[in-house]
Structure 1
Amino acid sequence: MTVKLDFEECLKDSPRFRAAIEGVECDVSELETRLEKLLKLCATMLEVGRQYCTASKAFVGGVRDLSQHTQGDPMMNECLDKFSDSLNQMIDNQMELLETTQLSSRQHIQTLVKEDMKRFKEARKEFERGSEGLASALHHNAEVPRRKQHEAEEAAQALQTARARARARALDYVLQINVIESKKKSEILQFMLMLMDAQASCLEHGHRLTQQLERYRRELGEQLHQLVLESAREKRDMEQRHAMIKQKDLSQDEGVLEGRGEAPDAVVMEGYLYKRASNAFKTWSRRWFSIQSNQLVYQKRAKDALTVVVDDLRLCTVKPCPDHERRFCFEVVSPSKSCLLQADSERHQQAWLSAVQSSIASAFSEGRTEAPGQHPERPSSMSAATMEVSGRSPREAVDKRVLDQVQRLEGNAQCCDCREPAPDWASINLGVTLCIECSGIHRSLGVHFSKVRSLTLDSWEPELVKLMCELGNNTLNRIYEARVEDMTVKKPQPSCSRAEKESWIRAKYVEKKFITKLPEVRLSRGGRRPPLKPKPGSISRATEPREAGTPPEGLHPGALLYWAAGQQNLPTMADALAHGADVNWVNSAEESRTPLLRAVAANSLLACEFLLQNGASVNQADSTGRGPLHHATILGHTGLACLFLKRGANQEAVDVEGKNPLSIAVDNANADIVTLLRLAKMREAEVAQGQSGDETYLDIFRDFSLMASDNPEMLTRRDLKLTTL
């Protein structure tokens, strides 16, 4: 006999288990209905002697009806079919046959319906109560804030008790299911066998018919005897296994944290997690998550379609969230979105973090085994999502010249970190090319260290291509590997292991072990660092004389970044960031302006793009309340205004004079910027109303970006006929 439900599976309380439970309950309910029908028909036959023939034929119909329930069991189906045919010819029964039939039905069928079914229903009620209690305890445990330690301990204790109670009741329920599945076959068959034996002995005129069935009855009796022995043995084994499992600490969640790397459905990890919704209410819902086929997916019920959270694990990173109000939280970040999840315990959280990180490493390992020149396939949905988040239209086809143009730069033909030839990935904030394995390591560092993009699979804005060509591997390595030769440190080779490469990359970019130290900064009286002195002219002027190419001595990293932004010197800006410059450093001597505002004054699209890619705030204002979009509008830098709008600049912010960028653009009669601002405002209004809008906005912004990058002189038009809104 095959066990209907496994005890280990019930500890997971997975959607598969729930679906199996539903199927079993329907099956038992249907069986109970059919058996009760059979009992009623038998009672009618016994009570109404005068109508014995009619009642017997109805009973035969009941037997045949029961046989329909056993279509999947040839042994039971054959038995019921043959005996029902014989019974149809044995209408003239004697009282002894009726009494024997009544006794047989009471011993087997009625016992199965009245006693075993009753125990099954009681076990089901206890299981449902335990499940409801566990769900309530889980919900309460998840809602306890991190700061309320006493409540957290009480909630954890209550959860532990509820989990133990629920699992114990689930085990009892599964035992009753397996017992009833085991008994129904033997009880039904024994009932039928006893009935047919009585027919054979009591009905002389049926002797000839029963003789024809003698061999079959004998074989069935032998099979039934063996079946009873096997059933008793399996019942004993199940009870022993049930007792052993019940002795375990059922309050723990070992059964939930199970890796399934060898499973046929390629599920690496699965279990319940709380997921925070992306809506305005930020509600939390408990869902069944799994890692399979290099994707992170979830579902609520087994019959629900899988919802994909991350469609390519190579394009994501995972990190814990110790500062979040709820405990045991971690975040999965991909180019298209981020997903905040919550585990039930710290052990559960660590297991998921390890599983996701291992899956990312495994995905990259599989990618390296492909033939040279081949790139792993990525779902089209990922590409579309990436383009949507970055503000690019799907019509912007990837130009192969991007790869050629970037790789032709000196030093870019090899991976910046391991020197593997023909790299086809890049870090857009560092401006270097990377092989696929090093790109995965860069991605695991987080976007505050490195932003990874494919040179062949992603779409590239023209300003990003120019940014890559302005920096490059040689330039960055002169900064981040300046002391490698003096320290006699050996760089990793393409053949080195991933662990060796990861150790090198972390030492290089995170710990910054190989950069040279800047000269000590002279402190002013009082211990303060001297601000960068103001230079002639104002940022509101359209043009400003360029300074000398050599930075002043004694500048600290923030001031050096500020100076280099005005010089449009990207290598020096990268050097300042490598030495710890705050990308939003404020120069108190120049109206609290930042390096981004300094780059706006210089009308440097590349410097602004470089600062934004490295985390500069697109809305940080100076002491006059004017942010980058204000100054770009004042100076008439349409290309920069387009860039800031694409990066989410707030066009409703007002300066100390109460003016926003649109009113400034109208006052200055700048038709292009007015057009951009009005389109962006219309776009925001449509998105707020839940409309997707058309591609016109993206087309116009793309055209302005291309013009700002290739033909900036065309963006100097003025329209003196502009009027206010």
Structure 2
Amino acid sequence: MIDTGKAFCLANKQFMNGIRDLAQYSCKDALVEANLSKFSDTLQEMINYHNILFDQTQRSIKAQLQTFVKEDIKKFKDAKKQFEKVSEEKENALVKNAQVQRNKQHEVEEATNILTATRKCFRHIALDYVLQINVLQSKRRSEILKSMLSFMYAHLTFFHQGYDLFSELGPYMKDLGAQLDQLAVDAAKEKRDMEQKHSTIQQKAALQDYSGDDTKLEYNVDAANGIVMEGYLFKRASNAFKTWNRRWFSIQNNQLVYQKKFKDNPTVVVEDLRLCTVKHCEDIERRFCFEVVSPTKSCMLQADSEKLRQAWIKAVQTSIATAYREKGDESEKQEKKSSPSTGSLESGSETKEKLLKGESALQRVQCIPGNAACCDCGLADPRWASINLGITLCIECSGIHRSLGVHFSKVRSLTLDSWEPELLKLMCELGNDVINRIYEAKLEKVGVKKPQPGSQRQEKEAYIKAKYVERKFVEKQPAAAVSPLESRTKVLPQSQEEKRHSAPEKSLLAVEQGVASPRVRSSDSGIQQSVDDSREHLASTISANSLYEPEGEKQESSVFYDSRQLNPGLHLYRAAFEKNLPDMAEALAHGAEVNWVNMEENKATPLIQAVRGGSLVTCEFLLQNGANVNIRDMKGRGPLHHATVLGHTGQVCLFLKRGANQHATDEDGKDPLSIAVEAANADIVTLLRLARMNEEMRESEGLYGQPGDEIYQDIFRDFSQMASNNPEKLNRFQQSDSQKP
């Protein structure tokens, strides 16, 4: 009974734990959770009472009866055995005494003595036996009744405790019963309402065309849970097979995310919606597709219908606009708390993070004349920039610029994005005043009014499109502009034929081809002077012709020309060599092709001329405006070849970052690495070999389109910082004739 009772208590405890778990799972339903918790506590008390009852039973019945059985009855049994043994001995003595013959006196005496002794022992044992019987009978009566009385009192206590416990619970149970009656009434009413709504929906569906959409079309930018819109979309994978997978997408917290399964952690597709655009895709076979494009990647998505596609595109666009406003307000508050800027470029000893952070970029760029207000509408304190135009913009104008496409304007945040040092210098070389003098030259003549900060968005859109896409306000070149060949003949002090045979040109050509004995290297710090007289003469001659001047010193050309008489392409070509970014911007505004080829000078491009001019910023400006880093001249040398030949380490680093092909060979079969090895330029050899190793590593691991190893990125970042802020540190290529390979 006790063992079964304990098993009953254990089963009850398991049941009570199940009730408690059910209460926890019902945490969103206050009524269910509260009542189940109350009942489980009551059941736990009853289990405790049961355990007490069985403990008392253990002590009152089992322990006492076991003592009675093991001690008292054992003594009785021992006494009984002794009595039976003595009785048997007495019977044997009587039989033996009766059988002794009269004539055998000795045997008669012996039998008589044994019988006498046995009778004495029998009487003694018999008395003990009777005593044990009386003791056992007495204890049997008292011990059993005493044990049962204790057992019954234990039950009395148990039931009293249970009665008191449930007496307290009684009113609570009555209240719950009344609530359940009301719940039953409410449930019946809700069921009728749902049946009525279901019938109404069916009637409406019968009157409308079924679109096939099973996803909610509405979006809400002010949703309480932060989710603007969510639903299923097909996503095209970025693998080689371009497979399509159905995923649950949502726009939340200024991000576009998706989940494969409900419990999976969301995968972020676009981390910041402000830096992306969304557009329709009609050039693929699947229907209802649209693309979300960010600065680092693009994501092709497919909706289930045209209505859904339009809804998703509208939701993304609205979220972008909302994020602009919210983040713009946050940035303003943070900027007001930050310390004032010195406006100067920080020294190379400072950390890379500090050099690249957005706050520093904002302070430096806004110090340029005209940059303290939006270039297009004049709103104060702009936080965005067009990096290929070199201007600052407000949030609204930056959104309009972004919609023009990256071939017209590349928008970047001055506070949220990281800025490479060469890009910062580019911004500091131009500015709103410079660009507006070019793109708004005829603004007053044509009678167009420039938008104000409070102007309508449509007015700003029309103005910006006319200004940068149609270029309506750019001062047109004279109609009598001469051809490139004629202008060259007019403005050059000597003919092209004479120039080709001049001593400096021959010497330079010999150096580039590796034929002449003198080795000349130019870097951002200037020419490395050689030891012998011939080298000094060659270097001074080249410097006199303004071929290799250090960056930061505006080159005064020995060739004077009127830019209005030049073909725009030739204008860009000349300005690139002279490191004149405003003139380059003007040439592009006049329609210059950024990859224009000078057929009269070995098919060189403006980018190659920028390399020859020795300016890192000029190269960056051309690359940001779409210059092809792999176009080669007549001798098979591209910008990377020329930068390697001239020893411009910063330019080599820039071209490698921009995807230059370092495996291309010139007419002599030399690639940039072999040229750098022959010149014993350790910095350039290091960069080229690192880039090649990184390229091979990405190919072996299948990481096409990825930036590659972090160490590789850190090294190139270090070289970029040094080339822009401390170019003299890269001017360490000294080599005598005895050291030449």
Q: TM-score range by the shorter chain?
A: 0.5 to 0.7
Q: Which residue does 1:350 correspond to in 2?
A: 310
Q: Which deviations, in whole Å up to 9, do the C-alpha atoms of 1:484-506 show, x marking residues without a partner?
A: 11222222223445454344323
2:198 maps to 1:242: yes
How does the TM-score come out when normalised to structure 1?
A: 0.62
2:258 maps to 1:302: no
Shift in alpha-carbon separation, 1:244–1:69, aligned structure 2, 3 A? farther
How does the TM-score come out when normalised to structure 2?
A: 0.61
Q: Tell me, yes or no, if the aligned pair for 2:439 and 2:589 is still in contact at 8 Å.
A: yes
Shift in alpha-carbon separation, 1:275–1:579, aligned structure 2, 3 A? farther
Q: Which deviations, in whole Å up to 9, do the C-alpha atoms of 1:451-479 show, x marking residues without a partner?
A: 23344554444433332232221110011
Mean alpha-carbon deviation: is it higher for 550-559 or for 537-546? 537-546
Shift in alpha-carbon separation, 1:522–1:428, aligned structure 2, 3 A? closer
Q: Which residue does 1:515 correspond to in 2?
A: 474
2:224 maps to 1:261: no
2:731 maps to 1:714: yes
* SS of residue in 2 equivalent to 1:693: helix
Q: Tell me, yes or no, if the aligned pair for 1:666 and 1:722 is still in contact at 8 Å.
A: no
Q: Tell me, yes or no, if the aligned pair for 2:279 and 2:290 is still in contact at 8 Å.
A: yes
Of the three residues 616, 630, 650, the one matched with 1:605 is 616
- Cα deviation, residue 574, structure 1: 1.1
Q: Which residue does 2:236 correspond to in 1?
A: 276
Alignment of 1:85-484 (within 5 A): 227-246=183-202, 248=205, 251-253=211-213, 255-370=215-330, 372=332, 374-375=334-335, 394=353, 396-398=355-357, 403-484=362-443
Of the three residues 628, 647, 672, the one matched with 2:683 is 672
Letter in 1 for 2:561: T
For structure 1, the 5+ residue unaligned runs are 1-55, 87-209, 378-391
Letter in 1 for 2:412: R
Letter in 2 for 1:668: A
Aligned partners of 2:481 and 2:448: how far apart in 1? 32
- Cα deviation, residue 687, structure 1: 4.4
Q: Which residue does 1:149 correspond to in 2?
A: none
Mean alpha-carbon deviation: is it higher for 368-377 or for 421-430? 368-377
- Cα deviation, residue 662, structure 1: 0.7
Letter in 1 for 2:375: C
Of the three residues 698, 716, 721, the one matched with 2:716 is 698
Q: Which residue does 1:132 correspond to in 2?
A: none
Shift in alpha-carbon separation, 1:593–1:232, aligned structure 2, 3 A? same
Letter in 2 for 1:663: S
Aligned partners of 2:634 and 2:289: how far apart in 1? 38
Q: Which residue does 2:661 correspond to in 1?
A: 650
- Cα deviation, residue 225, structure 1: 6.3
Letter in 2 for 1:706: S
Q: Which residue does 2:447 correspond to in 1?
A: 488
- Cα deviation, residue 566, structure 1: 3.0
- Cα deviation, residue 325, structure 1: 4.8
Q: Tell me, yes or no, if the aligned pair for 1:521 and 1:556 is still in contact at 8 Å.
A: no
For structure 2, the 5+ residue unaligned runs are 1-7, 27-31, 47-165, 338-350, 490-494, 513-519, 521-541, 547-556, 702-707
- Cα deviation, residue 315, structure 1: 2.5
* SS of residue in 2 equivalent to 1:273: strand
Shift in alpha-carbon separation, 1:351–1:578, aligned structure 2, 3 A? farther
Q: Tell me, yes or no, if the aligned pair for 2:654 and 2:720 is still in contact at 8 Å.
A: no
- Cα deviation, residue 344, structure 1: 3.0
2:581 maps to 1:558: no
Q: Tell me, yes or no, if the aligned pair for 1:531 and 1:588 is still in contact at 8 Å.
A: no
Mean alpha-carbon deviation: is it higher for 359-368 or for 682-691? 682-691
- Cα deviation, residue 682, structure 1: 2.9
Q: Tell me, yes or no, if the aligned pair for 2:649 and 2:730 is still in contact at 8 Å.
A: no
Q: Tell me, yes or no, if the aligned pair for 2:687 and 2:716 is still in contact at 8 Å.
A: no
* SS of residue in 1 equivalent to 2:334: coil
- Cα deviation, residue 304, structure 1: 1.6
Shift in alpha-carbon separation, 1:608–1:223, aligned structure 2, 3 A? closer
- Cα deviation, residue 79, structure 1: 9.9
Shift in alpha-carbon separation, 1:219–1:673, aligned structure 2, 3 A? closer
Q: Which residue does 2:587 correspond to in 1?
A: 576
Shift in alpha-carbon separation, 1:218–1:683, aligned structure 2, 3 A? closer
- Cα deviation, residue 530, structure 1: 9.4
Q: Tell me, yes or no, if the aligned pair for 2:723 and 2:730 is still in contact at 8 Å.
A: no
Aligned partners of 2:559 and 2:459: how far apart in 1? 42
* SS of residue in 2 equivalent to 1:582: coil
Q: Which deviations, in whole Å up to 9, do the C-alpha atoms of 1:667-695 show, x marking residues without a partner?
A: 33333322221222233344454754366
Q: How many residues align?
A: 540
Letter in 2 for 1:697: I
- Cα deviation, residue 565, structure 1: 2.2
Letter in 2 for 1:464: L
Shift in alpha-carbon separation, 1:282–1:624, aligned structure 2, 3 A? farther
Q: Which deviations, in whole Å up to 9, do the C-alpha atoms of 1:179-219 show, x marking residues without a partner?
A: xxxxxxxxxxxxxxxxxxxxxxxxxxxxxxx9999999998
- Cα deviation, residue 300, structure 1: 1.9
Aligned partners of 2:168 and 2:309: how far apart in 1? 68
* SS of residue in 2 equivalent to 1:581: coil
Shift in alpha-carbon separation, 1:241–1:604, aligned structure 2, 3 A? same
Identity %: 54
Letter in 1 for 2:232: Y
* SS of residue in 1 equivalent to 2:661: coil
Shift in alpha-carbon separation, 1:287–1:552, aligned structure 2, 3 A? same
- Cα deviation, residue 265, structure 1: 0.9
Letter in 1 for 2:731: M
Shift in alpha-carbon separation, 1:629–1:376, aligned structure 2, 3 A? farther
Aligned partners of 2:480 and 2:286: how far apart in 1? 43
* SS of residue in 2 equivalent to 1:631: helix
Shift in alpha-carbon separation, 1:262–1:457, aligned structure 2, 3 A? closer
Shift in alpha-carbon separation, 1:371–1:669, aligned structure 2, 3 A? closer
Letter in 2 for 1:257: L
* SS of residue in 2 equivalent to 1:240: helix
* SS of residue in 1 equivalent to 2:196: helix
Aligned partners of 2:419 and 2:21: how far apart in 1? 63
Q: Tell me, yes or no, if the aligned pair for 1:257 and 1:270 is still in contact at 8 Å.
A: no
Q: Which deviations, in whole Å up to 9, do the C-alpha atoms of 1:324-347 show, x marking residues without a partner?
A: 454433333333433333333333
Aligned partners of 1:65 and 1:413: how far apart in 2? 69
Letter in 2 for 1:629: L
Q: Which residue does 1:116 correspond to in 2?
A: none
- Cα deviation, residue 649, structure 1: 1.1
- Cα deviation, residue 266, structure 1: 1.4
The Cα RMSD (Å) is 4.8
* SS of residue in 2 equivalent to 1:258: coil
Aligned partners of 1:75 and 1:461: how far apart in 2? 64
Q: Which deviations, in whole Å up to 9, do the C-alpha atoms of 1:614-673 show, x marking residues without a partner?
A: 111111223443221112222333332122112221111223433211112223333332
* SS of residue in 1 equivalent to 2:654: helix
Q: Tell me, yes or no, if the aligned pair for 1:329 and 1:343 is still in contact at 8 Å.
A: yes
* SS of residue in 2 equivalent to 1:259: coil
Shift in alpha-carbon separation, 1:65–1:334, aligned structure 2, 3 A? closer
Letter in 2 for 1:255: T
